[in-house]
Amino acid sequence: MDLIQEEWLSQLEADTNAVILDVRTPDEYETGIIPGAINIDIYKGQGFVYQIDQQDKTKNYYVYCHAGVRSAKACAIMQEMGFENTNNLIGGIAQWKGKVIVP
């Protein structure tokens, strides 16, 4: 589901079963992340699919990238793999107004 920042954040804050997923490259990840995010680089192709397949499909995923395009693709791939609840951050971290930390 594509969500604007306010919806994405309010759902995340209320979700006790949430995982924040950053699908940017490791170099991008190192420049700053939404607190608590794990990094699985969508550009890894089959490696991305393999790493995603290791994740818990019962969790709710809040996915972001730089601008929202890669994360939308990641959500689509995850849904094809059987993940039921994926939430894409429209605009990505580039438009994020919330807290950002350096991992």
3-class DSSP state of 87 = strand
Domains of the chain: 10-95 (3.40.250.10)
**Angstrom distance (rounded) from CA 32 to CA 15:** 23
**Angstrom distance (rounded) from CA 50 to CA 89:** 23
Q: What is the mean pLDDT of the chain?
A: 97
Q: How confident is the model over 53-62, as pLDDT tens digits?
A: 999 999 999 9
Q: Are 28 and 40 in contact (CB under 8 A)?
A: no
Res. 103 pLDDT band, cuts 50 70 90: very high
